[in-house]
Amino acid sequence: MGAISRQSVSTVACSDPQLEAALTYALSNPGKQLRSKLCRETAAMIAGRALHSAERAGEAVEFLHTYSLIHDDLPSMDDDDLRRGQPTLHKQFDEATAILVGDGLQALAFEWIVDTPELGADQQVQLIKLLSHSVGFDGMVGGQAMDIAAEGGSVDVTHLEQVHARKTGALIVAAVMAGAICAGATTAQETALTIFAKRVGLAFQVMDDVLDVTATSEELGKTAGKDIDAEKSTYVGSMGVDAARAYADRLLQEALDALSSFGAAAGELKQIGQAMVHRSS
């Protein structure tokens, strides 16, 4: 997982050899680490320096993201065989092991926050509330349920935005706001960052729908065309490829504009936002 190596979680108790091997496999293929980067750079922008607490909070967010991918790939969910260019965890091991690794990573995220001494008790409570909400019934879990319910049907863009604000956007917002909490952001700063995170999170999902129909499985590192095969409602299905790209660009510009009050200090965060939307995989 990039900044999160297997060595960095070597103190985690994992007595079962199968579970140990599966956890190592899950952490060995890092992906882009966009959410941890968002957390770290948000905190650095506000504090004017790198914060170890934000690095740890970003790692916790990545644990939650990886857990969500493992569970999303299960046969009972999106039923995918490929993730980040490698067999999904349930294909490499088995379904029960994949479920357990996902469950363990979710629990580990909250333990990670509590075991970060640089965070005050109030910050820990705020982070735990933020992260638990982002993956709960009004976050990823609720979004996944709405996404499944919409399969085989046709929903409008407004409904799609409600789905993806939960399924994809909630954890992206949480990543940014976790950095803000670590750095002690003001209310005005939090307001601006919330707008940035919501807009860039939605733009990220719109581009995900575009890439699903324009990129290959090799480029994506996962199975291309899955949304069409599963008869899912997508932005491309609702508005077409060109209009979806234009919509993503408009959302990105709104996200970048929300950071104007931070001036030049927002440079790194803006670059991450641009990379999230102007990507090929």
Q: 180 pLDDT band (50/70/90 cuts)?
A: very high
What is the reported pLDDT for 7? 47
Give burial (CB, 10 Å; 0-12/13-18/19+) of 69: buried
**Residue 274 predicted with pLDDT over 90:** yes
- Among 110-114, 117-121, 226-230, 275-279, whose mean pLDDT is lowest? 226-230
Q: What is the mean pLDDT of residues 167-174?
A: 95
pLDDT tens digits for 19-51? 989 998 998 887 889 999 999 999 999 999 999
pLDDT > 80? residue 13? no
Query: What is the band of 224 on the pLDDT scale with cuts at 50, 70, 90?
Result: low
Decide if 254 contacts 195 (C-beta within 8 A): yes
State mean pLDDT over 262-274.
97
Task: Considering the domain delimited by 19-277, tell me its CATH architecture.
Answer: Orthogonal Bundle (1.10)
Q: Domain-by-domain residue ranges, the chain?
A: 19-277
Percent of the chain with pLDDT over 90: 68
Amino acid at 86: Q
Burial of 13 (0-12, 13-18, 19+ CB in 10 A): exposed
pTM: 0.91
Q: What is the mean pLDDT of the chain?
A: 90
User: Binning pLDDT at 50, 70 and 90, where does residue 1 land?
Assistant: very low
201 vs 221: CA distance, rounded Å: 20
pLDDT tens readout for residues 57-103: 999 999 999 999 999 999 999 888 888 888 999 999 999 999 999 99
